[in-house]
Amino acid sequence: MSATATINQPQTAKAVSQLDQLKQFTKVVADTGDFATLKEYAPQDATTNPSLILKAAQMPGYKSLVEKAISDNRKPGVSGEALLGQIMDDLLVLFGFEILKIVPGRVSTETDANLSFDTGALVAKAHRFISLYQKQGIGRERILIKIASTWEGIRAAELLQKEGINCNMTLLFSLAQAVAAAEADAKLISPFVGRILDWFKAKAGKDFPPAEDPGVLSVREIYSYYKKFGHDTEVMGASFRNKGEILELAGCDLLTISPQLLAELKASTEPVERKLDPASARAGKIEKIPVTEQNFRWLLNEDAMATEKLSEGIRIFNADALKLKKYIAERL
């Protein structure tokens, strides 16, 4: 299908929602821990993060999962931080297990933000998640381990991918991070479209139309680079602020979308035009980037937006993980 292809809707046929049109050339992923949302919008995959799990865990409907995680880990000799850590891991996997009863594809489960600069600890955490899922009868092919796109995180993904454990590189804001992740053979990356827009809006003091959105342009550049240089790593646009950003990336490998924006797409029957496709991307003029550790750190340092948003994202996810830990501790 060409880059300008649209889904034709016969006048006599029932109008097709933008969500269903989008699904014809992009894998739609739900960015939520709310099972009801998953059932309503029928995504292929689902992603979670500490902020989403914190929100979901406090909903009355999911109280039983919190109670199960606590009761399953009450054992003699285990207390304090060790107990809380075990409960947290179990709770994340319990949410993932329930999600996989609904979606036909994969679920992303996120590693601790405070491990973002510790390769060995990230690998160990991934092994723990895979083991917990296996106890629930879930194979590793249905799991994506989410890891922040630091140099250490990318090295952890490289080791895990060699073991057949697939990784989703999150908190990704730059081409340098994307290239390093692809060269490590990460299964998937999640460039944060909306957070990039947030930074540029704050700096410029103005909004940007979807076609000129800095986050959209970043994902287009990464997509083109991957297709031109033959990288198999999947590109999943994430963290959207408006429906326009999503439509400008129609044709991207995957898009992970919040419940609010899924609802907007489902409510509209306006035509959806495919904006990204591999053939057009391969024809681009983008140059290959060498990514050694030194070059990676330099390119990231020179990109103020990526440096600031990566650090901020790690802090936010860690803060929400601590809130979730406190919420659990109050119920022990």
What CATH code is carried by the domain that includes residue 104? 3.20.20.70
Tell whether 12 is covered by a domain.
no
146 has catalytic annotation: yes
3 pLDDT higher than 50: no
Tell whether 2 is covered by a domain.
no
Query: Angle at which helices 304-329 and 80-100 pack, to 10 degrees?
Result: 100
Distance CA 312, CA 30 (A): 23
8 pLDDT higher than 80: no
Q: Which two tokens stand for residue 192?
A: 């944060």
Integer CA distances (angstroms), 107 to 98, 103, 121, 293, in order? 10, 8, 21, 30
Tell whether 187 is covered by a domain.
yes
The domain in which residue 287 lies consists of 18-329
Tell whether 51 is covered by a domain.
yes
Q: Which two tokens stand for residue 238?
A: 């994430």
Tell whether 145 is covered by a domain.
yes
| pLDDT at 75 (0 to 100) | 81
What are φ and ψ of residue 191, in 5° steps? -65, 135
Integer CA distances (angstroms), 49 to 111, 224, 262, in order? 9, 27, 18
Predicted TM-score (pTM) of this structure: 0.92
What are φ and ψ of residue 60, in 5° steps? -55, -35
> Which residues contact residue 158 at a Cβ distance below 8 angstroms, ignoring those fewer than 6 apart?
184, 185, 186
Tell whether 7 is covered by a domain.
no
The C-alpha angle 163, 168, 169, rounded to 5 degrees, equals 110
pLDDT band at 331 (very low <50, low <70, confident <90, very high): confident
Tell whether 6 is covered by a domain.
no
Q: Which of 146, 227, 243, 309 is catalytic?
A: 146
Integer CA distances (angstroms), 138 to 107, 130, 179, in order? 11, 8, 30
Distance CA 128, CA 126 (A): 5
- Total domains in the chain come to 1
Tell whether 5 is covered by a domain.
no
State pLDDT tens for residues 30-59: 999 899 889 999 999 999 888 889 999 999
| pLDDT at 233 (0 to 100) | 98
* Intra-chain end-to-end CA distance of the chain, in Å: 55
| pLDDT at 7 (0 to 100) | 54
